[in-house]
Structure 1
Amino acid sequence: MSTDSNTKYVGKAPSRVEGPLKVTGQAKYSAEFSVPDLVYGYVVSSPVAKGKIRKIHADKILALPGVIQVFSHENVPTLAWFDRSYKDDVAPGGSPFRPLHDDEIKFSQQPVALVVAETFELARYAASVLEIEYEQEKHATDVEALREKGQEPGSGKTGYKPPVRRGNADKGLSKAEHRIKQEYIHGTQHHNPMEIFGATVHYHPDGKLTVYDKTQGVYNCQQYLKKVFGLSADKARVVNLFMGGGFGAGLRPQYELFLSVLAALELKRSIRLSLTRQQMFSLGHRPHTVQTVELGTGPGGELLGLKHKAVHETSRFEEYTENVVNWSGMLYQCPDVHLEYEVVPLDVFTPLDMRAPGAATGSIGLEVAMDEMAYEAGIDPLEFRRRNYADRDQNEDKPFSSKKLREVYDEGARRFGWDQRKMEPRSMREGNKLVGWGMAGGVWDASMQKAAAKASITADGKLTVSSAAGENGTGTYTVMTQIAAETLGLPMEAVTAKLGDTTLPEAPVQGGSWTAATVGSAVKSVCEALGEKLLKLAQKMDDSPLKGAKPEDVEFVNGLIRLRKEPRQSVVLRDVLQVSGEREIEADSSVMPNPLNMQKYSMHAHNAVFVEVQVDEDLGTIHVTRVVNVVAAGRIINQKTARSQVLGSVVWGISMALMEETVMDHRYGRYMNHNYAEYHVPVNADVRDIEVHFVEEEDPHVNPLGVKGIGEVGLLGVAAAITNAVYHATGKRVRSLPLTIDKLL
């Protein structure tokens, strides 16, 4: 089955189908649903980083009119999870944190109580005056001070791959004509999406729950509730129709889910619980990481040896790990590579996946080191990368399913005007502004997961496709609508996409840049299955011109089913439905990755980022004045939403390079700038000209749609390119991010 150009939507740039709902305020977020008999919860957070709770003085609070209950470890019932045998689908190894489990304090801002009251204002006031006595213990929160106590990870988090080593890096480095060895550091960062985490739990008279939770995976949350509270699936429906940014913070069930469901079940009432912006800093973070990179080249600039070691923090109760160093063994050609990774357990909450986890961190170390090596060898940084281009994934010794990084380099350099760059630092200026040009690149997994979808079409020609996948703001509703409309030759206006509900077919968490590949493939598959049913019905019509036709012989276009070789031989899709007498035709389908392709090919997306900065020679202020980001990520489903994804990545990269940092006061083991006033992110004045371009790839191996996902890859290399551009402008190499003014003066 196929369509013609009149109903080709994939690859075009339609606006978001959910856009009107969002701009008119009709899109409902998790803490906005109206439910009957609603009470409000407010979380009390620990002010100490380690210790025990001696006493909670709840009596005074419970005496306040309108205060319903104070939940703490003193009165929480025994639950299924307290055997410590359960962890959610994306949790790292170890023993996951269980809120209100006991009197032990494991990290600052740990939730220690939940106050429930008739109004939000009363719950907040009561929480603010609740007296709790603590016994403080000595804590450790400084990964740099304890880096020598790093240990090799064990099982790590889901998706962690132990570093692959090959050859003899020390021997390769000993032969090098040019060598560098440097240390690169970036501090803790927090996700800080615009929508704070919150949940609204509707307690039904029959004891069933409808849980509206901020999450990137409704099925993951439902499994969590089933295992923790012993609920059946029909008693715990989880819904998330829209999400105001997650960036990985919503991959795991966060503690607002546990606390709100606990209160609803105990009180047999509906409840709303929203965290504060300050409490958002207790949900996980991009870990503080120290990297050491050593490179050596031969006389022609070819890499002879590469060593990359990373050390970062984890909590004392879970072992979180990131694929920080693995990319260094894959992105460039090098025969002798030593990759090493260690974690340091600290008294902090477990770090958490944050947009391009591991790769965003690792690309800073590798790509700044590559720039330093290029200067040491006297080679243009872009030319140096071209000379060390990897045609094969050396980590896994496999060919790439597709790779157009050379074309990415060429396109980016042409659009940026890289050939006009002078090599020498401090050689370009505009007035009192030092001008610098830098570049960097990245590589990210092109993954696909297992997913299911359902499709139904009614007698009036209206198509509905559904899957439990989420909408994090990336355009999932629109992309699913495009794929369904094109597959069955319908106008997009005739298609409705339903997402984010555990009553719909199962889909994985929305992360890893795999949603379009995964759920998009499921939607394509189910629409093809529905098309086959429609073809069979069409063949039963009197004098049907489609009799004997196979699915591959027909195409769906402009509301018709017609023969591909004889387009005039067609039937109207709506007539098929009406003549059949069926009010609605349905189909179900599921997809999963092709294991043979996974064994045979390395599947990855690539990018290259070119940056111009201007640095005030007197003040040291840095402005990113121009960015060109070129991405090769297979087939692009929607040019507009894809471009927006990369635009957001570039803004995030500017933030990562110049301002974004969570500051820990190690005396207290507490994040001190846990708010939007002091946790700096870019504003309009920080963002200038950004160009986004795609080099499309034909990739029949990666998934049925040939897409690779772009949510993560667009971030890679941005911070490193800015750092490299600042060096080119000033001649000063900064190896600790964020690159603040004091590091230049």
Structure 2
Amino acid sequence: MSEHKMDADYGPSALDRGVQGLLGKGIDRTDGVAKVTGAAIYAAEQKPKGKLAYGYAVTATIAVGTVKAVDTTAAISMPGVIQIITDDPRLPSESPNIGADMAPRFDGVVESYGQIVALVIAESFEQARAAAMAVAVDYAPQKGAFDTMAGAATAKPPHEGAMLPDVVAGDVDGAMAAAEFTHDATYTTPYQVHAAMEPHAAVAEWDGDDLTLYGSIQIMRAARPLLAKSLGIEVDRVRMLSPYIGGGFGGKIGGPEIVLAAIGAQAVGRPVRVALTRQQLFHSIFGRSDTHQRIRLAANADGKLTAIAQDSIVSQKVGLSFFEPVALGALSLYAGAARSFTTKIVKLNVTRAGAVRAPGEAVGMMALETAMDEMAEKLGLDPIAFRKLNEPDVDPMRGVPFSTRRLVDCLDDGAARFGWDARVANPGSVREGEWLIGMGMATAARVNFLANSDARVRLTAEGNAEVETDMTDIGTGTYTILAQIAGEMLGLPIDRVKVFLGDSNYPDGAGSGGSFGAASSGSAVQLACDDLVAELARRMDAKPEDMTLKDGHAIAGNKRVPLAELVGGSPIEAMGVLRPGRNSRTYAQATHGAQFAEVAVNVVTGEVRVRRMLGVFDCGRILNAKTARSQAIGGMIWGLGYALHEAAVLDQRSGSYVNRDLGEYHIPVNADVPQIEAYFIEEIDNHASPVGAKGIGELGISGAGAAITNAVYNACGVRVRDWPMTLDQILPSLPPV
């Protein structure tokens, strides 16, 4: 077993000596054919051994109160109904937050709309749904709190030990009073939800006291013990499988569906499938809270910031501690001696807030980067020049060096590729008929994490490689990336490497989330392969650094030996174990980028069309050029949605979302998405991970919405501070037709 804790850089590896030519290449996904032909089996499609029954959740139609009684008389006699569960103490009320040790249990008290109050099990999905509608729930409703700003006076700071505690350094008020130029404005973002194409689903089957659970689960090492504790059984009684996930953006850590399916299957003595409907997801799965961000900037006439502050009010469901870490991206982004990054949390009777793609940066960078453009205009500076003026030499929060930081290169390269020099600074200057044309830009930033990760790599008797880890693939390309790393290190073509994921019987992987998946699981595979290379070198009577592995052969001295011959009929295995360490404190670790957008605003209707977007990103080593580009583009599209489309609208009377489906919760469709280009400035970051990579998945969303917002202002002179940008915000201030 090869274990490395990131207290120091890993050092030279067989990865650095690889000559197979796989790493970094834009290799097609190894699972691509299975996905486009339907051969990839997702959670709701799993076929257990026994006859399948179907579960359907009954959800609360009030936001606050108690359940007085549940009348199942009519429902239980309906065709196909097997059982209705109302009094199982393990019945989950909603999705747990990341870090929870068990699913929240329904105790008869309703604290937000849509909590789960019962489970109907029937012979078909349609029969279960019909019966669920016939279950009569008698409530004792109470008055709820649904308005964040109405409760601002009761807002509390983060709890002790929070991921993002309040950070205050210097005197922001004093700097604002003394500065020659200041900016002080409030920006708001709405409630937002996960909108993964694949809804939450699970299939559970018991064999005596042992449970097999098929689910759509991002992080197995978190979901498996959560499920076991929720059921009151030992964790080794649970086998969890999640080979394919149809999108997961923080919400699929193990929702209520996995517990519902398990208790349902146990109750009826046969396998049960539970798939939450799209409408149910809006309330039973956590989303992103609304934010109200006060941004203050102070600068001298030379454009140097003397103060930067991002102080926010967010909401969270009563009784919970997680909060949207709005200022996470801003902490170390720009220089400035006086700094304030604080959060106040208002507790409401709303769906719980949790991690949605790029928690903090996705919405925090929208506001900060819009404010930076407003400040640049006051200073009479080009927006890029203003940002470069305030580039710090070291982390301004801790004074430690950056592991790598190529932000200025991203800004310069992006400006050249985009044609920024053609931008006309004066808003409303460029017109094509009814359309006003504008360009905007913004910085992207995302903190970098590592997570515990284990992987087993095996060289078979045939000289092929097999990789095993319970790491998951949420559409990011994990199957392909891990095959590339193993193939590069062991000198094998991609078709001679098989990757097995999403099975809790495999070693504990990092899971997918926080943009830590590829670097963490890839490093674990790297560590295991280094052990295998050392063993192959021993059998070749050579030093590892003197041996070349290529096309299934080992070459050293005057010998060229097939790997199958070296393996000798008995497979060779190695375990790689990665652990985070002091490097995360010794160095400031983040990814950075520059976002650019061109928009057209219709002077008659106020319609905004994004005509093109371009991003340049610094993410350490690029493991696969194609999947990396796809991740960046996907994030940029989501940022476009945040700028122009996405908002979960809360009914202040009932505490429910009024647009709880994809017909009314607007996300970008094909017609909304323009030409998008994504490029990378690669610098291998060995301080961040042995494999030298950093996270990509969440960086692309960061700053993308701000670039579009700034482009709208450049086009028509309308400055929007409340997202999404809607026609009613733009129309009144448009210039004459």
Please give the TM-score of this superposition, normalised by the length of structure 1: 0.93
Pick aligned residue for 2:606 from 607, 620, 632: 620
AA in 1 matched with 2:549? F
Determine helix, strand or coil for the equivalent of 1:652.
helix
Does 1:76 pair with 2:49? no
1:492 paired residue number = 494
2:279 paired residue number = 278
Does 1:508 pair with 2:510? yes
Aligned residues of 2:463 and 2:562 also touching (Cα < 8 A): no
1:529 paired residue number = 531
1:389 paired residue number = 391
1:541 paired residue number = none
Determine helix, strand or coil for the equivalent of 1:290.
strand
1:180 paired residue number = 183
Supply the distance in 1 between the matched residues of 2:458 and 2:40 (Cα, whole angstroms).
24
Does 1:116 pair with 2:116? no
1:259 paired residue number = 260
Pick aligned residue for 2:693 from 693, 699, 707: 707
Pick aligned residue for 1:720 from 706, 710, 716: 706
Quick one: structure 1 residues 323 and 177, their matched pair in 2 at CA, closer, same or farther if it must change by over 3 Å?
same
For residues 392-411 of structure 1, what are the structure 2 equivalents within 5 Å? 392-411=394-413
2:156 paired residue number = 151
Deviation at 1:89, TM superposition (A): 8.4
Supply the distance in 1 between the matched residues of 2:233 and 2:194 (Cα, whole angstroms).
31
Map Cα deviations across residues 638-675 of structure 1 (whole Å, 9 max, x no partner). 00000000111111111110011101111111100001
Aligned residues of 2:90 and 2:230 also touching (Cα < 8 A): no
Does 1:560 pair with 2:553? yes
Deviation at 1:323, TM superposition (A): 2.2
Determine helix, strand or coil for the equivalent of 2:700.
helix
The number of aligned residues is 715
Aligned residues of 2:553 and 2:560 also touching (Cα < 8 A): yes
Supply the distance in 2 between the matched residues of 1:70 and 1:571 (Cα, whole angstroms).
64
Pick aligned residue for 2:562 from 540, 563, 572: 572
2:7 paired residue number = none
Deviation at 1:462, TM superposition (A): 1.9
For residues 627-646 of structure 1, what are the structure 2 equivalents within 5 Å? 627-646=613-632
Deviation at 1:97, TM superposition (A): 6.2
AA in 2 matched with 1:569? K
Deviation at 1:509, TM superposition (A): 3.1
Deviation at 1:3, TM superposition (A): 7.6
Quick one: structure 1 residues 529 and 61, their matched pair in 2 at CA, closer, same or farther if it must change by over 3 Å?
same
Deviation at 1:171, TM superposition (A): 1.7
Determine helix, strand or coil for the equivalent of 2:679.
strand
For residues 24-35 of structure 1, what are the structure 2 equivalents within 5 Å? 24-35=37-48
AA in 2 matched with 1:196? P
Supply the distance in 1 between the matched residues of 2:18 and 2:352 (Cα, whole angstroms).
50
Quick one: structure 1 residues 278 and 89, their matched pair in 2 at CA, closer, same or farther if it must change by over 3 Å?
closer
Runs of 4+ in 1 over 4 A off after TM superposition: 2-6
Determine helix, strand or coil for the equivalent of 2:336.
coil
AA in 1 matched with 2:76? L
Pick aligned residue for 1:348 from 321, 330, 350: 350
Aligned residues of 1:88 and 1:224 also touching (Cα < 8 A): no
For residues 332-343 of structure 1, what are the structure 2 equivalents within 5 Å? 332-343=334-345
Quick one: structure 1 residues 415 and 581, their matched pair in 2 at CA, closer, same or farther if it must change by over 3 Å?
closer
Please give the TM-score of this superposition, normalised by the length of structure 2: 0.94
Does 1:733 pair with 2:719? yes
Supply the distance in 1 between the matched residues of 2:159 and 2:17 (Cα, whole angstroms).
52
Supply the distance in 2 between the matched residues of 1:465 and 1:429 (Cα, whole angstroms).
56
RMSD: 1.8
For residues 181-196 of structure 1, what are the structure 2 equivalents within 5 Å? 181-196=184-199
Supply the distance in 1 between the matched residues of 2:246 and 2:453 (Cα, whole angstroms).
23
Supply the distance in 2 between the matched residues of 1:520 and 1:301 (Cα, whole angstroms).
42
Pick aligned residue for 1:452 from 442, 451, 454: 454
Deviation at 1:494, TM superposition (A): 0.5
Aligned residues of 2:79 and 2:127 also touching (Cα < 8 A): no
Deviation at 1:156, TM superposition (A): 6.8
AA in 2 matched with 1:168? D
Please identify, of 305-314 and 478-487, the stretch whose mean Cα deviation from structure 2 is larger. 305-314
Unaligned runs of 5+ in 2: 1-13, 732-737
Deviation at 1:412, TM superposition (A): 0.4
Map Cα deviations across residues 154-197 of structure 1 (whole Å, 9 max, x no partner). 1476xx12132222111221221111110000100111100000
| Identity of matched residues, % | 37
1:9 paired residue number = 22
1:587 paired residue number = 574
Supply the distance in 2 between the matched residues of 1:495 and 1:442 (Cα, whole angstroms).
35
Aligned residues of 2:454 and 2:510 also touching (Cα < 8 A): no
Map Cα deviations across residues 47-82 of structure 1 (whole Å, 9 max, x no partner). 11101111111122222343121112xx21479x99
Map Cα deviations across residues 269-300 of structure 1 (whole Å, 9 max, x no partner). 21000010101102011111100011111011
Aligned residues of 2:20 and 2:492 also touching (Cα < 8 A): yes
Supply the distance in 2 between the matched residues of 1:348 and 1:427 (Cα, whole angstroms).
44
Deviation at 1:322, TM superposition (A): 2.7
Does 1:104 pair with 2:109? yes
Unaligned runs of 5+ in 1: 539-545
1:543 paired residue number = none
AA in 2 matched with 1:176? A
1:358 paired residue number = 360
Supply the distance in 2 between the matched residues of 1:370 and 1:741 (Cα, whole angstroms).
24
Deviation at 1:328, TM superposition (A): 2.4
Deviation at 1:421, TM superposition (A): 1.2
Supply the distance in 1 between the matched residues of 2:455 and 2:89 (Cα, whole angstroms).
38
1:542 paired residue number = none
Determine helix, strand or coil for the equivalent of 2:278.
coil
